[in-house]
Amino acid sequence: MTISSSLNAGVAGLTANATRLGTIADNIANSATFGYKRVEADFHSMVISSQGGTYSAGGVRTTTQRLIDQRGPLVPTSNATDLAVRGRGLLPVARSSELNAGQQNMLLSTTGSFRTDDEGYLRSEAGLVLLGWPASADGTIPTYPRDTSDGLEPVQINVNQFTGEPTTKIDLGVNLPATATEAGAAGDNSELSIEYYDNMGTSESLSVEFVPTVPGTGVSNEWTMLVTDSASGGAVIGEYTLTFDDSRTAGGTLASVTTVSGGAYDPATGEFEVTVAGGPMAVNIGVAGDSDGITQLSDVFAPVSISKDGTPVGNMTSVEVDSNGMVHAFFDSGITKTIYQIPLVSMPNPNGMVSLDQQTYMPSTDSGTFFLWDAGDGPTGDIVAYAREGSTTDVAGELTAMIETQRAYTSNAKVIQTVDEMLQETANIKR
């Protein structure tokens, strides 16, 4: 019985070392595979009899585990949508073959090389589509559930997309000539035209005319400001009376603003709101005593600083993903628009996930409940663009393990050979 158990233990040893050699071969074969996680084989002894008397060899058995939580080196690339995770967390992806069915199962990966396909989806050569949360029209990310993948959608980039942003605010910094409000002045008006963009991205203009109040004697320090809109047929959309301070400490700054028509002037913010053809627009002329807005100094009319928001219609030129997973679309008009957010998925035991092809994994009961984090928040790392994660295989270590496995396999074969010789001797006793 002891001899037979030795034979069985030897066979178990051959099987165990063959399994270990299989993991080594897999690791070496994927030493250049991006995102590959090495497999480790562990040996466990099988004890059949630990009591006194005749000993029976139990042999050995093996278990294998893919070390998904190990991280490989980051390899720089030239593609903006080559993504890798630096630290804890995995990228949500789905098989492109499931898109037509309208229901995709969330798979996970630590890296991927994504490019737009014929429908604009960010897809890898392995047929994996990147998943993310779509942004609202204003570029904000709505609130989505974090313990389920129901809110995730395939990231689709419309490379032929046009976009523009309407102008909603203008900051007006102008100097008016103080000499124009003195008695005997010519009373010439000063005009200023400011371009803005309407809701359709069309260029329009806001005309601002300053009319001085010329007194019979002395100085009035008073102007009438008329605001007209080209999109409204040149109609006056706002009229305001500006009075300036001539004191020693605050000379040349606004003293007061009186609203004649249009939106009321707010002395706390220095703004008033006029209604152009496309909707309301805030105009900032400065607060009383502030020299950053409209001033009245010297004898020169000068637009000092005019700034506004909004952009003309532009073509999409590129797409990039930042470290927090925000997908930004860049346009040739100079604007940047957030269109998706890529979360990072984390769970208590990453190594408990089910391993699939193309370096993808599926959550299981062994991995624990997953949660979708903003990249860089909680336990997760960040997302690195222009990079891919290399294989975690250490070729030198695998070759060393191969030598050990070969020696162990040879030794187990020797045990079987020895048992065979002993059984032969037992059979020869009858002669």
pLDDT single digits (tens) 77-115: 999 999 999 999 999 999 998 887 667 899 999 999 999
pLDDT at 52: 63
pLDDT at 405: 95
Q: What is the DSSP string of 319-339?
A: EEE-TT-EEEEEETTS-EEEE
3-state SS, residue 239:
strand
Other beta carbons within 10 Å of 382: 18
Q: Of 340, 329, 375, 370, whose CA–CA distance to 154 is shortest?
A: 340
Regions in the chain scoring below 70 on pLDDT: 1-2, 49-53, 101-102, 431
pLDDT at 102: 63
Phi-psi map region of 204: left, alpha, beta (phi>0 left; psi -120 to 50 alpha) = beta
pLDDT at 428: 84
Calculate what percentage of the chain has a pLDDT beyond 70: 98
The span from the CA of 33 to the CA of 195, in Å, is 54
The span from the CA of 293 to the CA of 250, in Å, is 13
pLDDT at 419: 85
Q: What are phi and psi of 4, to 5 degrees?
A: -65, -40
pLDDT single digits (tens) 207-253: 999 999 999 999 999 999 999 999 999 999 999 999 999 999 999 99
Q: Tally helices (H) and strands (E) across the chain.
A: 2, 31
The answer to whether 112 and 351 are in contact (CB under 8 A) is no
